Amino acid sequence: MSKAKNVLVIGKVWPEPKSSAAGTRMMQLIHYFIDEGYGVTFLSHAKQTEFQENLADLKINFDHVEVNSSRFDELIQKLNPQIVIFDRFMTEEQFSWRVMDHCPSALRILNTEDLHFLREARHKSLKSEEKLDLNTYRSDFLLRELAAIHRSDVSFIVSDYEVVLLQENYDIPVEKLLHLPFYCESSERPVPSFSEREGFIFIGNFWHEPNLDAVRYLKSTIWPLIKKKIPKVKLNIYGAYCSEKVYQLTNKEDRFIVHGRAESAQEVVMKSRVSLAPVRFGAGIKGKLLESMIVGTPSITTSIGAEGITDQNLWSGRVVDDPNAFADAAVKLYLNEQQWVTFQKRGNEILVAKFSKEMFVAKLTNSINQLSNLENHRNRSITGLILQREYHQASRYMSIWIEEKKRNGRGGS
């Protein structure tokens, strides 16, 4: 009888594919392992939400697990997974030493979603108006994230820009990184034509600070420029976890309307003529822009928005950073049907060339097969072994101390 194959996913949050690109990405990974015949278990210390994926319907085992709790040790010993996926580096920090203790032969994968240190450095640079350089990158986030990448057997990176950054600036070995973007395909059903669509759209999860910044930037700077040239056009803002502060940005007179969560993101994007994404900081791949391509909606975005998807000159629309040029490009695309059709087709070409499911499956399968000899793989990274040892000891004793404090009623977290 063949040994059962088990994969354990430890999530920073519960997956919400209808709320964020990160949720979509996580479910794509889970579906891959289900299709490959693995039993999947999902654990998280986050609170469950009404919008999370119904894991029970997919026959996925799931449970809440506390940080600094030996109950996790019992769970993982019973499961004995061959693969453990840490969702974001904070989760690796919290649980990887326990995985090393109880399942030392398990393949440890870090799913980064995006590089947090890059996003934070860009945010810092935007606020301070200082040039972004290696000094700006240097932060506690940087050191923690790089350490987690070194400790893990392989890290999934969605953006090819970030793969190059890690290799060239921080000497991360190529065998430690797998460029694995989302997969997505054009809509199978007919999409509305140029004349059947109206209005601009922005969509994004408002727990994600770059989206909140982008909407405020639209409101204060870009939308007034567009309105001068197309007075009767409307901008619809959609997004999960929309706070009252975001709703208050609505101005019906200016036709700037915040709707909140969309029942179907694809439906509202499909009805719109042009997608706007003036992303001024962030990292990874912007799911909103891939979603626009899926339903044939050309977009205007920034260089950070297009990063990791395709060359700026081959974009499904325009890539511009100057606000005046951004507004001009948006107006021209909204009014020019021939240009719009050309960019719509280009979006489909991008999806076929870089984001097919077949490519995703092949890359992931090949990577797992190449890591079958874990001992040799790990021995090639002396930095990883050093960080594992030092971190393992420090985290072990700190976690035990915190758990004892909690057990004895003296607080701790």
Comparing CA positions, the residue from 11, 20, 118 lying closest to residue 65 is 11
- Tell me the pLDDT band of 382, cut-offs 50, 70 and 90: confident
d(C-alpha 408, C-alpha 347), whole Å: 59
* pLDDT tens-digit readout, 150-179: 999 999 999 999 999 999 999 999 999 999
- Tell me the pLDDT band of 404, cut-offs 50, 70 and 90: low
* pLDDT tens-digit readout, 271-300: 999 999 999 999 999 999 999 999 999 999
d(C-alpha 202, C-alpha 30), whole Å: 28
* pLDDT tens-digit readout, 234-252: 999 999 999 999 999 999 9
**What tokens appear for 44 in the block?**
């998280």
Residue 413 pLDDT: 45
Comparing CA positions, the residue from 4, 112, 9, 1 lying closest to residue 58 is 9
* pLDDT tens-digit readout, 258-271: 999 999 999 999 99
Topology at the third CATH level for domain 6-183+358-407: Rossmann fold (3.40.50)
Its CATH class, for the domain covering 200-355, is alpha beta
* pLDDT tens-digit readout, 16-71: 999 999 999 999 999 999 999 999 999 999 999 999 999 999 999 999 998 888 88
pLDDT at 412 over 80: no
Residue 69 pLDDT: 84
Residue 42 pLDDT: 98
Q: Do domains 6-183+358-407 and 200-355 have the same CATH topology?
A: yes
Task: Tell me which of 400 and 85 has the higher pLDDT.
Answer: 85
Task: Tell me which of 60 and 410 has the higher pLDDT.
Answer: 60
- Tell me the pLDDT band of 2, cut-offs 50, 70 and 90: very low
- Tell me the pLDDT band of 394, cut-offs 50, 70 and 90: low
Give me the residue spans of the domains in the chain.
6-183+358-407, 200-355
Residue 403 pLDDT: 63
Residue 186 pLDDT: 77
Cα distances from 363 to residues 37, 38, 286, 348, 370, in angstroms, run 17, 18, 21, 21, 11
d(C-alpha 374, C-alpha 385), whole Å: 13
